[in-house]
Amino acid sequence: MKYALVTSLLAQSIAVLADLHLLPVQFKAPSVAHFQDIIRNDAYDFGCRPAVLPTTGGFILHAFLTEVQIEDFTKGPKSADLTLHRAAIKRQEDTAPIGTGDRFKDGTVTPLGLGTRDVGARIDTLLNVNEIRSAVKALANTYGVSILNLPYKTFEGATQFAGYVGGGSDKSKYHLYLTAGSHARERGGPDQLIYWISDLLAANKSGSGLAYGQKVYTHPQVKSILDAGIVFFPLVNPDGVAYDQKTGSLWRKNRNTKSGTGIAAGVDINRNFDFLWDFEKYFDPTVFPASTEPTAQNSRGTAPESEAEAKNLVSIYKVFPKVRWYMDIHSAVGDILYPWGHDEGQSNDTAQNFQNAAFDGKRGVVRDTKYKEYIPSTDDSNLRTVAANAVAAMRAVGGRPYSSGPAVGLYPTSGGVADYSFSRYWGVKGANKVYGFTLEFGYPTNFYPTLQEFNENILDTNAGFTDWALSAIQVGLT
């Protein structure tokens, strides 16, 4: 079914010249199929992925549009079943403030999360970019966390770093790997990761457990997670985060200006990994899992891992060769996703796999019969089990809704890090098998949470991380 929409090129051209302030909107329709053509419009901003949710009498699709895009859609020809509604609340207003200065005083004051504080305690400001580094430095000074400086500098010259703890000096003893801050506007991810590590270390040192709302964990559970060996890369996109915190512009990409200035700057890091990156070759021509347009929010870059941020994330797999479980932290939907994200999965036909050129040009169409990506049934079960346990933990904290499922959802993606991480076992000689997950915290399109929501997100995700790790340990680290 087709609906008359503005072409992507026209919409992008208009947006470049117009007010670029993004406004939260909802498309409403009686069926999911009504949204297919809208999702193909890569000038529209759907966040990490299109979030379609059931509502009374049909479904809603969340998005961010400019005033020009809203006006153009409203005036243009379209199906009467497909309507556009402005969100009642502009989510980028009344947001949690960003910290000023350095609360950790260049690593001399140790961060402390919510899991080791009294019930009702809260954190009053988001971490700024400098504080993220200072916090990890403090964890190193207090608890002996090791810091790994990563080999590639960002476009604006930032040196990136990761922390690792629990496995000692033997890098083959590290099995859990978490990243945050890939999409700049998704505020709170780096905070959640740092405060979780802080909680684990503080509880382990004191011999106590953790409590996140209604979820309580024992000291032996805390110790088992640290013993599994944790690698954490808390700020994948420092240039983008610094820019977003300065401008409040809902900036998503990095700040690479080789493709142009304004909205033509930047690459979506989570479309830049070496997994079916060349979607024009690998995917059905009717789907667009990323974009070649520099102005698009999901602009893929000039080549797989063209960006320093992606190179650095991948380099960690080479340093820690026995990582088995990977989690990438994003917002804002309210779910945990796992492979595959480029097509639906199946466990019967091994020939239908991402390396088989016979299926080039056929991938990515959801609910078709031409192609579904092979996934071993045991791997599929492991992914589903661990995701479900983590979601149950997040729900238990305070009762907020979360779900889990394959990442492909309504529409596919290419060059994503979770699929890349899982695919390495087959695509990179000698690579360990890695189970890749994406956690989408918060509410749909709520990239700038209020202070209350920011604290709720910390509690929810930290419980989710804890159960994710415990479930991973139970399934197996090797």
Q: Which residues are catalytic?
A: 440
Q: 439 and 467 in contact (C-beta within 8 Å)?
A: no
Per the CB < 8 A criterion, the answer to whether 58 and 28 are in contact is yes
Q: How far out from the chain centre does Cα 4 lie?
A: 31
Q: How many CB atoms lie within 10 A of CB 28?
A: 18
Look up residue 353 and give its two tokens: 């796999």
Task: Look at the block and give the residue holding tokens 């590290």.
Answer: 174
Contact assessment for residue 194 and residue 136, using Cβ atoms and an 8 Å cutoff: yes
Query: What count of Cα atoms within 13 Å lies in the side-chain half-sphere of residue 276?
Result: 35
Do the beta carbons of residue 291 and residue 280 sit within 8 Å? no
Pairing type for strands 230-233 and 176-180 reads parallel
Distances (CA, A) of 163 to 200, 305, 332: 14, 22, 25
Pairing state of beta strands 146-153 and 176-180?
unpaired
Instruction: Give the separation between CA 268 and CA 253, rounded to whole angstroms.
Output: 5
- Six-digit token string for 211: 């409590």
Measured distance CA(159)–CA(187) in Å, rounded = 21
